[in-house]
Each structure stands twice: as C-alpha cells, then as structure tokens.
Structure 1
Amino acid sequence: MWPDAPELERPRILRQQWLDLTFLHWALDPAEVAHFFPPGTCPDTFEGRTYVGLVPFRMTDTGFPHGPAVPVLGSFLEMNIRLYSVDESGCRGVVFLSLDADRLAVVAAARTIFGLPYRWAQMTHTQVADQHTYTSVLRRPGVHAASTITVEIGSPVASDPLTDFLTARWGLHTHRARRTWYLPNHHPVWTFRAATVSTLEIGSLFASVGLTEPTRPPDHVLHSPGVPATFALPIRI
C-alpha cells in the first residue's frame, strides 16, 4: 500500500485549491529522462518504468495559510509537464519540467521565489456536461508550443497501485542556488473518475522542454474534481 501523506511541518507558507485536473501519463525508460533530475535525486520507477505526466487544471484560492486568497492573481489556469523523483533518503516527489500559467505575475513570482520553471501562456478551460477542454499557447518568442486536450469524464473509479504511484506525491524536488530542495505539501486523498481522451493535440509541447514527443496515446488517463493543498517551508536535500 502506498504511504499516506506525512504530517506537514510548521510553519505553513501557502495554500491552494487544485480543481478539474486531468492526468495524462506515458511510460518511459528511466534512462531517457535521468539527466533532468536534480543532484541527489533520480527517476522513481513502477515495475521498472518511470512516467512523464501532462496535467492541465484550474488553480484557485491561492494565498497564505490564513486569511483571504490573493485577489485576481490567486486564481489561474495551469498545465504542467512532470517527472517522478526519489531522493537519497527515499523521499518521493515530482520534478517539473514546465508549469505553464496564464498569469504573468504568477509566473514571475514563482520563478523568482521558488526557482520553478513557470512559463507564461494563453490558456482556456471549458466544461460542457462531462466534457472538459483545455487549450494552451505558450507566450515565448521563438518557441512554439500549443495544445488542445479534450476528455470525456466517466464514472468514479477506485485508486490502484499505479495511480497511487503517479498521484500520491507529497512534494516536489527542485534545484536552486546550487542546492537541491524538497518543497513538501499536504492534501486530502484524491477522488478519481474515468476519463477518455477525444482530442489530443500537443504539437511541440514536449519538445519545448527537451522531451521526445509521444507517438502513442497516453498509457494512463484519469480525472479528479480536485483537492485543497497546503505547503510548508522547503527542505534542503
């Protein structure tokens, strides 16, 4: 059984709501992506394979642990490309190759404060009944990365060992100021619904972060209505 979220140390520094998430994953040979990982970490594996994830969603209610959310800037759209890490102590996390968001001020703040690879993009999310559509066009001169993803949401589904491996992650690994850091978070257990991809146009999105573009449909697709999340101070690895 996958371990539950560890108790989050104090002080808490940030809270968010992650909503309307679609998780799309492709299995990879760990050797293909090992060079992306910060020092002291390596690709985490499930039955000998690691995974790359593409996750579009809505972010809301961003703010300090107590009090109101940040006006306007506290809500935005995001789509990230992520890998799965484990460090020398056995702590599992996520390594982000990109985090595209439609608020320029959010992009600037996250890059400056946390050193995360946020990028400014023009994005939309629409829902019609059980159909969710996410679009994104990167706003970066000289780099073309556009995507359209549509999924049809089905019935609730139970988690399984692979789903736990991909989604029960309680922090992220990043490299900043010549150090590797772990930024821990805590959130309730996910609830999931089955999802079927009806449109998947990702163009050169993966190439924009140095990955080979997928040539097959995702190996694993799920949708979640979302969870609230809280972050604590980064820990030096």
Structure 2
Amino acid sequence: MPPAAPDRLPPATATALRGPVMMHQHWDDVAFLHWAVDPALVAPHLPPGVRPDVLDGVTYVGLIPFTLAGAGPGTGPAVPYFGTFLETNVRLYSVDEAGRRGVVFASLDTSRLAVVLGAQVAFGLPYRWSSMRRAVRVRDGARELAWTCRTPSGVRSRIAVRTGTERLEGDLPTFLTARFGLHVAHLGRTWWVANEHEPWPLRRAEVLVLDDGLRAAAGFDLPGPPDHVAFARRVTTRFALPVRL
C-alpha cells in the first residue's frame, strides 16, 4: 500500500527527536524572502526519492540570510569562534514518500571556511565560503538589517529589511517555516536529518534593498519582488543523526 499523502500543512510544532542529539545551534535575526514558483521548476533540483512540497498549486524558493550562533556537538557547550557565523541560503521545500516534509538547500554561503569543509565532507551539503557582512541599525523605532555576500566566483547579494511588530500567522507562514528536517543527497543515497525547535516568532518585514545573484546562480532566475517576507529574532535548534530514505 502506498504511503498516505501528507496533510495540506506541516505540523506547526516539532515532534521530539528520536535518538541522540547530533548538534545544537541558534538561528538569529532571520529574514525569510520567498517566491512562488511552478513545482516543475524545483523538481530537477531535489534528491532522488523527494518531490516538491506544494501549497495551493505552487511551491517556493526561499532566500534566507541570518546568523548561525552558538553551534556545538550534542548537547554540550558551543564551539568558540567556529560555532558562530553568517549564512545565506537558497532553499526549496520537499516531501518524501514517508510524508516527511523538510527543506533542500540549493546553495549555502557562509563566512567560515572550516564549516564549509566539515559540512561538505560529513553531510554533502552545498556549503560555499563567501565574504559576508551584516549591519543593524534602529530607525524610527524599527530595526533595519542588511546583509552582503560575495562568492569566490564574483556572485553578489545585497539584502536589507525593516522589521515590523505585526505577528504573522496562517497557512503560508506555517508552510514555509514549520520545517523540521532536511533532505540531502550524499554518498549515492538520499538522507533525512530531523530537527526540532520552538515555533518561529514570525513578524512582518519590509524589503528595503534586494540586489541578489545567489538565486540565479543556484538555478532560479526569479524576477520581481518576493511574494512573502517575514523576520524572526531567534529559535534554538537541535538535530538528530541522519537516516537513509
């Protein structure tokens, strides 16, 4: 009997991890910029055994700049220096035959070379070292954050957002952010890496600057402004050990 189709939306809260915690980390000052696309555009970029996850006939390509902070193995202390860095990823939305709904990373840029080498070897994740900066200022009582990224091949990205106070809820914010795992192709197999974290404290945000080449470099040349923009200050995330599909 084929597996049951997944619910229309992923659960808003994570189930407890099974087995030991592989690592933990904080995701700080996260901007979520998303474009709605035809699932056929995304499907060729997904690992075997995984298909695009769809809401109301479309899937999404996300551009996500943030600070990864306090990463450490298991439940132990954070790794000094190497455990905190800037990251910008281009991500896709996936579901496997068991109904597990997660993300697939089309690209991952980070400011720590050691993280790139470790993640590529251990997990097959498409990390790439890039020159990255972040700036924060407060104007008229609102926080404005800006990220810049330049890859070794010269691809550039400039993103700036102004954060709001209005809480974001509903089907689409849940679909885009209640993702408790990732799918990745590595060593000739597709793997599922589960994670758990509290629900995202999402707020509305406004794009001030968007001059981005990372999406096109990852295979998604998407014109126009994003269809959905959100921001969150922090979640604390724990990852389980990878399992094969």
Distance in 2, matches of 1:126 and 1:118, equals 22
**Are 2:168 and 2:204, in contact at CA under 8 Å, matched by a contact in 1?**
no
Is 1:5 the counterpart of 2:14? The answer is yes
Is 1:93 the counterpart of 2:119? The answer is no
Task: Name the counterpart of 2:4.
Answer: none
Displacement of 1:2 after TM fit? Answer: 4.1
Distance in 1, matches of 2:166 and 2:241, equals 34
Is 1:179 the counterpart of 2:189? The answer is yes
Displacement of 1:65 after TM fit? Answer: 2.5
**Are 1:93 and 1:170, in contact at CA under 8 Å, matched by a contact in 2?**
yes
TM-score, length of structure 2 as denominator length: 0.92
**Are 2:10 and 2:101, in contact at CA under 8 Å, matched by a contact in 1?**
no
Post-superposition Cα deviations, 1:175-227, rounded to whole Å, max 9, x if no partner, equal 1111110000000111011100010011x32222122x221100000000010
Task: Name the counterpart of 2:219.
Answer: 210
Determine what percentage of the aligned residue pairs are the same residue. 47
**Are 2:184 and 2:192, in contact at CA under 8 Å, matched by a contact in 1?**
yes
> Which secondary structure state, in structure 2, belongs to the residue aligned with residue 77 of structure 1?
strand
Q: CA RMSD in A?
A: 1.0
Displacement of 1:158 after TM fit? Answer: 3.3
Is 1:221 the counterpart of 2:229? The answer is yes
Task: Name the counterpart of 1:67.
Answer: 76
CA spacing shift, 1:39–1:108, aligned 2, 3 Å: same
**Are 2:29 and 2:231, in contact at CA under 8 Å, matched by a contact in 1?**
yes
Post-superposition Cα deviations, 1:55-75, rounded to whole Å, max 9, x if no partner, equal 000011100233321111000
Give runs of ≥4 in structure 1 deviating > 3 Å. none
User: Aligned match of 2:117 in 93, 108, 123?
Assistant: 108
Of residues 59-68 and 118-127 in structure 1, the stretch that sits farther from structure 2 once superposed is 59-68
Q: Which amino acid aligns with 1:6?
A: T
Task: Name the counterpart of 1:200.
Answer: 210
Task: Name the counterpart of 2:28.
Answer: 19
User: Aligned match of 2:167 in 157, 173, 176?
Assistant: 157
Distance in 2, matches of 1:162 and 1:138, equals 31
> Which secondary structure state, in structure 2, belongs to the residue aligned with residue 8 of structure 1?
coil
User: Aligned match of 1:135 in 123, 128, 148?
Assistant: 148
**Are 1:24 and 1:220, in contact at CA under 8 Å, matched by a contact in 2?**
yes
Displacement of 1:10 after TM fit? Answer: 1.5
Consecutive unaligned residues in structure 1, runs of 5 or more = none
Aligned residues: 232
Q: Which amino acid aligns with 2:127?
A: Y
